Each structure stands twice: as structure tokens, then as C-alpha cells.
Homo-oligomer: A and B are copies of this chain.
Amino acid sequence: MKRFLQKRSEKSGLPPGSLVHVGEKKLEKAQISIIDFDETRYQELAPAAIEEWFPFKDKPTITWINIDGLHETDLIEKIGRHFGFHPLLLEDILNTGGRPKIEDFGDHIFVVLKMLYQEEGNDSELLSEQISLIFGENYVITFQESEGDIFDPIRERIRKGKGRVRKESADYLAYIIIDAIVDNYFNVLEDIADYIEDTEEILLAKPDAETLQTIHGLKNDALFLRKSIWPLREIISFLEREESTLIRKTTRIYFRDVYDHTIQVMDTLDTFRDIISGMLDTYLSSMSNRMNEVMKVLTIFASIFIPLTFMAGVYGMNFEYMPELKWPWAYPVLWVLMLTVGITMVVAFKRKKWF
């Protein structure tokens, strides 16, 4: 349940705009890394103190500042004060239980997204890490909860000048970061697809009580995925259409492409939900089929032997005057009779296709 609702109790009663980190502390110390580039120059830094990179703000080059770790609230506050960010924006960066959102503050646009990853371990659940992104005229700032991300290929492309990123402006950099996150959803979907396929095979072969757990796990994962991705549609469609001067027309066509991907993710997710709910039906009717089978075995045994036992019981009675008991052929005749009854029953059940 934790993934569906982050505990916010620490925050209750505080004035709005109070900076409190809501969520797990995933890093010992916040880490800052800076990439500064334009078409010709390129520079990479990992400053110890934040103040070192403030001058980059006013240079014409594009600066990508990445902060891993959200628990050092004074660090976040310093950045906010320097760049003139609204206290509520900073609050949203720190509140990792929020939902994806976009806000246009005129000279900068603020986007909150969720990156999804599979928890490690046996009974792993799907979890999310919040990525906040602010971009202005010539800078992009990203905030992550923990170290390690899916942006290394982007850094590599900037370093080596591959693709168009060095030739474009900050909105294009924001685009490729968002694109990488959306692309990552396809990987998560592929994992789920594989898992669904495996579970479907088990369902056909030998479903048990655990299979039900698996199906419900899948269902809850799909629910979580939906909750994390659903607001994206609105966000990307905002980026594609908004009249902000921060997004150039040539970049907008790229955001439309991300929008298409988002729709496809949502579509696929809806299909998965339908498939998973079909699996539940299959599970329930396979349970009911099995019950049927058990009942049939019982019925066959009981229906065949109960009448025979009765017959045997009759000639086990001790009446003095039972003429059959003295007939020499009575015993073999009874056997014939009993076999006839038994075989008739078997034939009758065979006809009903019970076995």
C-alpha cells in the first residue's frame, strides 16, 4: 500500500510552502552534477558546494544541472531562492507522493514525472522514483530521489555530439529527458507482458492458490502503473500545445511524438488490464472445473459401490428362513448380478462423458 500513498504525517499542520521531504531517504548525501554545452563547447562538473554553479545561470550556453537526493532541504531552498522558484514548486519537488504535473511559471516550466522500476528481490513490486524537471531559457534542472538513472545515453550523446542535442536549445534537452522516461515505460510494459505470458501458461497447466496471488499482484501493478502514467497525457499535451515562448515550434513536433508514445502506453496498459481481468475469470472457472472433477470421482465411486454393498448386506443377514442362502448357485448368481449392476453404472457414466 505504501506505494499508493506516501505518509505525509510530518507535514500536517505546517504552513504551505514548508519544505519537508516526504518519502524514503535513499541517499546519504545529495550529489550535484553539471553539464554545460553549446554546439562547440562542452564542460562537465561535480561541484562540492552549490554556489559554484550559480554563475552558469547567466551564460548563453545550455546548462543541465542534476541533483540526486532530496533530503537536504536547505540545498533545495538555496537553489529555489537563487532561481526565484515559487515555494510551492519547491514543496512539490520534495513531496515524492504527489502525482505527475506540469506548471508554467512564465520564465520556467516545471514538470513532475515518475520513473518506474522493478523492486529487487523475490516478490518484487513495481515502484516509482519521482523526477522533477525545471527548464528555462538556457537551463534544465532535474531532481532525482536516488543515484543512478536512465539518462546516461543522453549524457553520452551530449558528450560526443551525437544526434541534434548540441545544436538545439534547452527545450530540446527537456524533450529528450522526458522522452527517455516515457521510453522507459515501454521497458516496464515489456516486463509485465512477459510476466503475463508466463502466468497465462501456468493458468493453462496447473493453477493453484498462488496463481491467484500472482494475478492480483499483476492487477495492482497495472493499477500503480496507470496511476503513475495517466496524468502524463495532460502534461505532454500541454507541452505540445501551450503558447509558452520557452518551447519552440520545431520542438513541438517532437513533443507530439512523445504524446503519441504516451497514448500508446495508456492503450497497451488498458489492454493489459482487460487481459488480466480475463485471467481472473479463467482462474475462477478452472477452480470450478476442478471441483466438478472431484465431485465426479466421488459420485462415480459412491454410485457404483453403494448399491453393491447393499446387496452384500442383504445376504449377510441372519434370518433363519432365507431360502436363497441354501441354493447352491446363489453365490455365483449374485456375483453375476453385482457385476451387471457395476458394469451398467460404468457404462452409464461413460455415456455422460464423466470420465
Contact = CB atoms under 8 A, between A and B. Distances in A.
Nearest to A335: B314
A157 B13 CA distance: 9
Given A98-B260, A257-B88, A316-B317, A301 B306 contact: yes
A179 interface: yes
Q: Is the interface of A mostly helix, strand, loop or mixed?
A: helix
B303 A303 contact: no
Interface stretch (A56-64, A132-140, A237-245, A323-331): A323-331
Nearest to A284: B285
B101 A5 contact: no
B153 A13 contact: yes
Nearest to A322: B331
Contacts of A204: 213
Nearest to A162: B15
Interface in A262-312: 263-264, 267-268, 271-272, 274-275, 278, 280-292, 294-299, 301-303, 305-310, 312
16 contacts: A5-B189, A5-B268, A9-B190, A11-B183, A12-B183, A15-B176, A88-B253, A92-B260, A212-B282, A212-B285, A287-B288, A291-B291, A295-B299, A299-B301, A315-B319, A321-B327
Given A15-B164, A17-B164, A321-B330, 9 more contacts: A1-B275, A4-B275, A5-B189, A12-B184, A12-B187, A15-B176, A301-B302, A305-B310, A309-B310
